[in-house]
Amino acid sequence: MDFGHSAVEQTFADEVRAFLRARPPDTFPPDGTDAGYGSGAHSRAFTAALGERGWLSLTWPREHGGQERPLGFQLVLLEELAVAGANGGLGAGERAGMATEVNQILEEVVGGGNTNEHGRDLLGGRETRTAPLTVTRNVNGDITAVTWNPRGVDGAIDATVSDGVTAQTNVGGTAVLGADTDPTFLPALLIQLRDALNTNNQAGVSAVIDQFQTVTARLSSAQSVVGSQLQTIDRATSANDTARTAAKAALSAIADADVAKVAVDLSQQEAVYQAALYASSQAIQPSLLEFLK
């Protein structure tokens, strides 16, 4: 299935597929304890293999051992795990191992959706008092439902970047993850995929796969909007820099003109002073001679 990836995302997808072909999930022993969903043991070895490749911390900051990759890379990993999970040859234990990874990605997506920078939530619109995403958890602490802040998360934040030019500096939460009433709301899809894997529901896994193309297209659209906003800001910044350079040149020219004027004035004053001294000397000399007589 073609999910419409960018070139770098497709390269990553090929890498994940190559790994899953070389080391199919059913080759990892289900040696872990219950994942928390009542599905039984899962494979810690499979989890470790993904972690060794840095695939469990794709979007984490580099200072915390992550790769700081965009959300799209997590979607790629999810898609490939889902496709592998729909393989009829897998058993309950292998799918439960995949469910553990999907659950971790779910936590990362929710955490990313609630990221706050400089006192403002990245996906919170104009709201600043309530986190964008609210989660419901079961007795095991696992997410069972996710909703947006009911006050809204799509309010535009505009900034003036130059005279007569404004740019939106944010992107609405639903433009990235979807509305929480939409069947393609990403957190809800992840919950659905996790639960289908945990219950060994191959048809349920396949149904989620069919929704990922919409999720990927929505994320690509949001990235395009952000790119357009950045271009507007870059153009305004360039125009401001040009205007600043012109202003500095004008100030320098004015300063040079002022220096030249002062130099001329000083020369004129010096000439007048020298003339006055000469006249005074001429007047003093006869007076002195007369005195000496």
Write the pLDDT tens digit of every residue in 22-51. 877 667 666 655 444 444 445 677 777 777
Cα separation of 239 and 85, whole Å? 52
Please give the residue that has the higher pLDDT: either 217 or 191. Answer: 191
Quick check: 214 and 184 in contact, CB under 8 A?
yes
What CATH number did the domain enclosing 157 receive? 1.20.1330.10
What's the confidence (pLDDT) of residue 134? Answer: 93
Whether residue 255 lies inside any domain: the answer is no
Whether residue 48 lies inside any domain: the answer is yes
Asked if the model's pLDDT at residue 17 lies above 70, the reply is yes
pTM of the model: 0.66
Whether residue 248 lies inside any domain: the answer is no
Q: How confident is the model at residue 287 (pLDDT cuts 50, 70, 90)?
A: very low
Domain span at residue 152 reads: 7-242
Asked if the model's pLDDT at residue 135 lies above 80, the reply is yes
pLDDT digits (tens, 9 = 90+) for 166-196: 777 778 888 888 899 998 999 999 999 889 8
Whether residue 105 lies inside any domain: the answer is yes
Whether residue 283 lies inside any domain: the answer is no
Q: In terms of Cα–Cα distance, which of 85, 107, 111 is closest to 203?
A: 85
Whether residue 85 lies inside any domain: the answer is yes
Whether residue 13 lies inside any domain: the answer is yes
Please give the residue that has the higher pLDDT: either 98 or 271. Answer: 98
Whether residue 174 lies inside any domain: the answer is yes
SS3 content of the chain, % helix, strand, coil (to 5): 60, 10, 30
Q: Token pair 């995403």 is at which residue? A: 133
CA angle 59, 63, 64 (to 5 degrees): 60
Q: What percent of the chain has pLDDT above 70?
A: 65
Beta strands in the chain (DSSP E): 116-117, 120-121, 133-137, 143-148, 158-162, 165-168
Least confident of 107-111, 183-187, 196-200, 267-271: 267-271
Segment 101-113 mean pLDDT: 85
Asked if the model's pLDDT at residue 85 lies above 80, the reply is no
How many domains does the chain fold into? 1
